[in-house]
Chains A and B, each alone.
Chain A
């Protein structure tokens, strides 16, 4: 068995340090928001984890297409890793968002486009994992997984648009300021530092997890092959 590459070990440590700094920036360094108070600090990690979730979602969809084109099982591994990371990070996003929404919107949950789309993505991922579990043949498992991520990747934006046709109360902090949004605010300089650092830190964490997960998948394949060899 190959030992863990040094680059990956270094990246593990760098990710941890970056996470610690991002936590410090979000909880201590950034000024307290005037209207919402300390609960606004959730925002930095909320957006950063959502970003990682989205990254995973896009990577999964794209590697699904590449797999169908090349039939190379390597891409199936990439797709599965992306789905699993995205699943976890969207879940963190939703939980953080709910913690923020309780005092600000006075409710844990609302059927807003982003909330609904994020939870639908979670359900699609769970269905994806269940689908994979029900198939033994690795090639078929990879093909079905790729087809399903592709179908999901196209359906989720349509879901988003269709719910957006209703009115929304989710604030849009980046880009235009929506007047109807509840809990919107303008970022000051220090807030921006904390925010962009959190985005950066979580992107590195995404790469680190992604790498680790792919390595794990490769080891898994090797174990399966060895098992088959023993059985013969």
Chain B
């Protein structure tokens, strides 16, 4: 009820906050999504460990790739689930009936998706650091991970809203998402690799710029077209 009043007040930011908070509160109670994403992410790292023979020498060059592949795979799991919950319980229809701008729903979902992804990353990073005895907690690397995750969830939230409405739903999301987020993966892997190998900043900068440009463009696009995706 309090949520409804807030929306009626027409406060856009508060509407976004309400949608995001709804997701986070539901997740904090059930912990379904986060636990699945976390276990899945750790399993992906294990698979990489045995498929790539992550010894000390290869590790320096492939760490960033392993991390981003892990985030990308675990991310689709989260995106799928977070939209499927809305769809299955008719929650999305309720949200759409609320007298707020549709894009507020998009930003709310994107923020909660981003939060889930960051939580998973916050767990994967120390685990990876311990398992492979490397320090991944460098401010530059954390910035790259934040920028990459923003781009990933900006597109992912839009496309997952589409894929849940198709017949093949769960299968559809990675197929739709991966070719579109390829620039994010390329730039994020390069930039993270640059920080991990202590490359000079001017070699990392183009990749950071690319990430920022991608984030801005796709947040804007998603903001503009989200209406068409949820329209009945």
Closest beta carbon of chain A to B141's beta carbon, Å: 19
Which applies to chain B's interface (DSSP): helix, strand, loop or mixed? helix
Partner of A151 from B168, B180, B182 at Cβ < 8 Å: B180
Chain B 98-117 near chain A by CB (<8 Å), digits 1 or 0: 00000000000000000000
With both beta carbons as reference points, the residue of chain B lying nearest to A68 in the complex is identified as B228
CB distance A159 to B228 under 8 Å?
no
Q: How large is the interface on A (under 10, 10 to 19, 20 to 34, 35 or more residues)?
A: 20 to 34
The distance in angstroms between the C-alpha atoms of A131 and B165, with both chains bound, is: 10
Complex CA–CA separation, A163 to B186 (angstroms)? 8
Within 8 A of A (CB), among B185-212: 186-187, 190, 206-207, 210
Q: Give min CB distance, B61 to chain A, whole Å.
A: 15
Q: Collect the chain A residues with CB atoms within 8 Å of residue B77's CB.
A: none
Q: How far is the CA of A165 from the CA of B176 in the complex (A)?
A: 25
Cβ A158 vs Cβ B176 within 8 A: no
Query: What CA separation (Å) do A123 and B181 show in the bound complex?
Result: 12
Of A17-25, A46-54, A142-150, the stretch lying at the interface with chain B is A142-150
A60-109 contacts to B (CB < 8 Å): 68
CB-based contact A154/B229 at 8 Å: no
B122 at interface (Cβ–Cβ under 8 A)?
Answer: no
Mark contacts of A137-169 with chain B using CB atoms, 8 A cut-off: 1 yes-contact digit, 0 otherwise: 000100110111011101100110111010000
Contacts of B168 in A (CB 8 A): 130, 134
Q: Distance (Å) between the CB of B156 and the closest chain A CB?
A: 11
B226: nearest chain-A partner, CB-CB: A147
Of B168, B172, B179, B206, most A-chain CB atoms within 10 Å? B179
The listed residue (A123, A133, A135, A146) touching B179 by CB distance below 8 A is A123
Chain B interface size, under 10 / 10 to 19 / 20 to 34 / 35 or more: 20 to 34
Q: Which residues of A contact B92 (CB under 8 A)?
A: none
Q: Would you call B221 an interface residue if the criterion is a C-beta within 8 Å of the partner chain's C-beta atoms?
A: yes
Is B172 a contact of A134 with CB atoms below 8 Å? yes
CB neighbours (8 Å) of B213 from chain A are 158
Residue of B nearest to A152 (CB): B180
A154 and B217 form a contact (CB under 8 A):
yes
A27 on interface, CB distance cutoff 8 Å: no
Which A residues lie within 8 Å of B210 (CB)?
158, 161-162, 165
Give per-residue flags for B155-172: 1 if the beta carbon is below 8 A from chain A beta carbons, else 0: 100110011011111001
- Report yes or no: A135 in contact with B166, Cβ–Cβ below 8 A: yes
A158 interface neighbour in B169, B183, B206, B228, Cβ under 8 Å: B183
**A134 touches which of B159, B167, B181 (Cβ 8 Å):** B167
Closest CB-CB distance, A76 to chain B, in whole Å? 12
Cα–Cα, bound, A151→B222 (Å): 9
Docked-complex contact B165 and A159, CB < 8 angstroms: no
**A174 CB to nearest chain B CB (Å):** 25
- Which of A120, A133, A150 is in CB contact (< 8 Å) with B225? A150
Interface: B25 (CB within 8 A): no
Inside 8 A of B225's CB, which chain A residues have their CB?
Answer: 68, 147, 150-151
Q: Which residues of chain B are within 8 angstroms of A165 by Cβ–Cβ distance?
A: 190, 206-207, 210
Could you mark each residue 162-182 of chain A with 1 if its beta carbon is under 8 Å from any beta carbon of chain B, else 0? Answer: 110100000000000000000
**Can you give 18 A-B contacts (C-beta < 8 A)?**
A120-B182, A127-B179, A130-B175, A135-B165, A135-B166, A147-B158, A147-B225, A148-B176, A151-B155, A151-B221, A152-B179, A154-B217, A154-B221, A155-B180, A158-B214, A162-B186, A165-B190, A165-B207
Give the interface of A toward B (CB within 8 A): 68, 120, 123-124, 126-127, 130-131, 133-136, 140, 143-144, 146-148, 150-152, 154-155, 158-159, 161-163, 165
